[in-house]
């Protein structure tokens, strides 16, 4: 089986055994995959439902037309409406997650099958005390001088429970820039570009793919300090100007924590013993008609706290490729007058100073959006 997203990719090889795992594509176990969370945060809350697919098809198969609802401990039912294919959202005016309340997910698929999750309780959120960085060098056989970057850490407020289970979800945003600015463009006529730095500065946001879990049950005392998050190095443009992390700290129940911690182990095993010995990751969603028919994924309730911090890298040592104007780029400028309308507009640069010879370079040298970011500055940007 194979499905999109990490939670799907991590679950596609499911078997509890110690024998070599042989992938066979003649038959596969088609199952539904569910991902959803109810928290104390403002809604809407989302449930995503998809179907597994054969190993030779790396595709996401959203399951449309389901009847999805969440029921609380007092029996109140909250319907979810399909907004996009396979994505079901609650009405934020009606469903507001309450700390201490229990919730259960109920699904009826288009073919008439019914699934329900276990009851999940929203535990009290625990505050994040700090998010911090530490300069770190790492050896890398592919990089002669090694890697340089920031290792990030999180501290949580002291806890009072005997056992606290935490999951951290990390979103990173950074500012970066193109290497050159646009001075002219050609659309059959050579014209000055109206705003030289229009496509020069971008902002990119992404979810850090690693899974970060922690439980106080394995330690003496109740401190949650210096828990490692991800490592960001200078092999990309991420640390060039300004970098920010938004960390969501989820307080989980024991069963939800076990699910995410197993997924973490599964991910860590990739490239080591994962190819030889994958293992079962047990979710909490089961068919009403057949207890042996279990959905992949997990529906959970969690108390959530958030914190955002900004960081600046001031140590240089960047090691990503940059655009340099070559003689061939300068010669390419002469070719624009033989170009076809289908190639227009063609952007032209006069170098960093704007006073050099005209040249036609790769668009990624001139348009920061080619690296996946957007021009709009985020509302939270400092």
Two structure tokens written together for 218: 């394995």
pLDDT at residue 366 above 70? yes
Please report, rounded to a whole number, the percentage of residues in the chain having pLDDT higher than 90: 76
Pair 329, 361: CB distance under 8 Å: yes
Predicted model pTM: 0.86
Number of folded domains that form the chain: 1
pLDDT at residue 2 above 70? no
Q: Please report the pLDDT score of residue 32 as a whole number.
A: 92
* DSSP annotation string for 178-200: -SS---EEESSSEEE-S-TTTTT
Say if strands 224-233 and 285-287 run parallel, antiparallel, or are unpaired.
unpaired
Q: Please report the pLDDT score of residue 57 as a whole number.
A: 66
Q: Tens digit of pLDDT for each residue in 280-328?
A: 578 999 999 998 889 999 999 999 999 999 999 999 889 999 999 999 9
**7: part of which helix (H) or strand (E)?**
helix 6-11
Tell me which of 63-67, 207-211, 276-280, 369-373 is least confident: 276-280
Q: Which residue has the tokens 């037309």?
A: 65
CB atoms within 10 A of CB 338: 7
Of 326, 323, 318, 302, the closest CA to residue 368 belongs to 323
Domain presence at residue 267: yes
Two structure tokens written together for 24: 């066979």
d(Cα 311, Cα 243) in Å, to the nearest integer? 5
Per-residue H/E/C for 341-380: HHHCCEEEECCCCCCCCCECCCHHHCCHHHHCCECCCCCC
Q: Tens digit of pLDDT for each residue in 229-283?
A: 999 999 999 999 999 999 999 999 999 999 999 999 888 776 443 333 334 578 9
Q: Tens digit of pLDDT for each residue in 56-86?
A: 666 889 999 999 999 999 999 999 999 999 9
Greatest Cα pair distance in the chain: 75
pLDDT at residue 26 above 90? no
Of 135, 165, 140, the closest CA to residue 153 belongs to 135
Domain presence at residue 261: yes
Domain presence at residue 184: no
Top-confidence residue, 121 or 5: 121
Q: Catalogue the long-range contacts made by 339-344 (C-beta closer than 8 Å, 24 or more residues apart).
A: 339/186, 341/188, 344/186, 344/187, 344/188
Produce one character per residue of 171-183: b if its CB has 16 or more CB atoms within 10 Å, e if not: ebbbbbbbbbbbb
* DSSP annotation string for 288-341: SS-TT-B-EEEEEEEEEEEEEEEE---S----S------HHHHHHHHHGGG--G
Average pLDDT taken over every residue of the chain: 88
d(Cα 366, Cα 160) in Å, to the nearest integer? 54
pLDDT at residue 20 above 50? no
Domain presence at residue 71: yes
Domain presence at residue 15: yes
Write out the residue range of the structural domain in which residue 108 sits: 6-123+253-301
Domain presence at residue 78: yes
Two structure tokens written together for 107: 């699904």
Angle (CA) 308 314 319, round 5°:
105
Q: What is the CA radius of gyration of the chain?
A: 25
Domain presence at residue 271: yes
Domain presence at residue 138: no
pLDDT at residue 99 above 70? yes
pLDDT at residue 6 above 80? no
Produce one character per residue of 357-379: b if its CB has 16 or more CB atoms within 10 Å, e if not: ebbbbeeebbbbeeeebeeeeee
């Amino acid at each position: 089986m194979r499905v999109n997203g990490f939670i799907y990719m991590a679950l596609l090889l499911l078997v509890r055994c110690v024998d070599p795992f042989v992938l066979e594509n003649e038959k596969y176990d088609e199952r539904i995959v569910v991902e959803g969370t109810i928290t104390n945060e403002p809604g809407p809350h989302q449930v995503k439902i998809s179907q597994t697919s054969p190993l030779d098809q790396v595709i996401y198969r959203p399951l449309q037309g389901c009847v999805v609802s969440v029921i609380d401990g007092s029996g109140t039912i909250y319907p979810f409406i399909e907004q996009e294919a396979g994505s079901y959202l609650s009405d934020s005016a009606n469903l507001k997650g309450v700390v201490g309340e229990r919730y259960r997910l109920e699904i009826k698929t288009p073919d008439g099958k019914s699934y329900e999750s276990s009851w999940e309780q929203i535990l009290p959120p625990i505050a994040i005390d700090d998010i911090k960085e530490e300069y770190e060098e790492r050896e890398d056989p592919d990089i002669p001088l090694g890697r340089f970057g920031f290792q990030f850490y999180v501290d949580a407020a002291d806890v009072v429970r005997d056992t606290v289970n935490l999951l951290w979800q990390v979103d990173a945003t950074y500012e970066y820039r193109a290497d050159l600015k646009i001075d002219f463009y050609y659309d059959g006529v050579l014209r000055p570009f109206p705003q030289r730095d229009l496509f020069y500065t971008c902002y990119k946001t992404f979810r850090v793919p690693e899974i970060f879990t922690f439980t106080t049950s394995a330690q003496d005392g109740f401190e949650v300090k210096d828990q490692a998050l991800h490592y960001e190095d200078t092999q990309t443009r991420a640390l060039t100007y300004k970098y920010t992390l938004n960390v969501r700290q989820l307080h989980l129940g024991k069963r939800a924590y076990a699910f995410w911690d197993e997924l973490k182990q599964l991910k860590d095993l990739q490239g080591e013993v994962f190819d030889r010995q994958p293992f079962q990751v047990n979710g909490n969603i089961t068919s009403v008609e057949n207890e042996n028919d279990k959905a992949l994924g997990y529906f959970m309730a969690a108390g959530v706290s958030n914190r955002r911090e900004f960081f600046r890298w001031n140590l240089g040592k960047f090691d990503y490729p940059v655009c340099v104007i070559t003689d061939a780029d300068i010669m390419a400028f002469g070719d624009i007058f033989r170009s076809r309308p289908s190639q227009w507009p063609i952007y032209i640069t006069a170098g960093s100073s704007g006073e050099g010879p005209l040249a036609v370079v790769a668009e990624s040298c001139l348009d920061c959006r080619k690296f996946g970011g957007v021009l709009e500055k985020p509302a939270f940007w400092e």
